[in-house]
Amino acid sequence: MTQLRTDVSCCPTQDGMVLLDERDGRYWQLNTTGAAVVSALLDGATPAQVADRLAATRPVDHDRAAADVAALLDHLTRAGLLASAL
């Protein structure tokens, strides 16, 4: 299950979502699609399930959706915004 670190806050906005890394004060802005991906992952969906949802609701094929979800997860992980899996 995907979780944000305890010192990362998220706030939905009109245009997507903002993540605040409270350790260093950096903000990360997500567009509406990125916000939908992060929200679904935080709600317990797997990356494959999120890719399925994107392919069904957006003009993107499944392979591209899966690659985009993986890339966003990788970016959030490298930025240190996600909690480590136990």
In a domain, 27, yes or no: yes
Q: Which of 45, 49, 51 is nearest to 67 (CA)?
A: 51
Domain that holds residue 31: 8-78
In a domain, 30, yes or no: yes
In a domain, 49, yes or no: yes
In a domain, 1, yes or no: no
In a domain, 56, yes or no: yes
**pLDDT by residue, tens only, the chain of 86 residues:** 899 999 999 999 999 999 999 999 999 999 999 999 999 999 999 999 999 999 999 999 999 999 999 999 999 999 999 997 54
Is pTM beyond 0.85? Reply is yes
In a domain, 86, yes or no: no
72: CATH: 1.10.10
Domain count across the chain: 1
Beta-bridge mates of residue 8: 21
Residue by residue, DSSP assigns 41-77 as HHTT--HHHHHHHHHHHSS--HHHHHHHHHHHHHHHH
Residue 73 in tokens? 């997860």
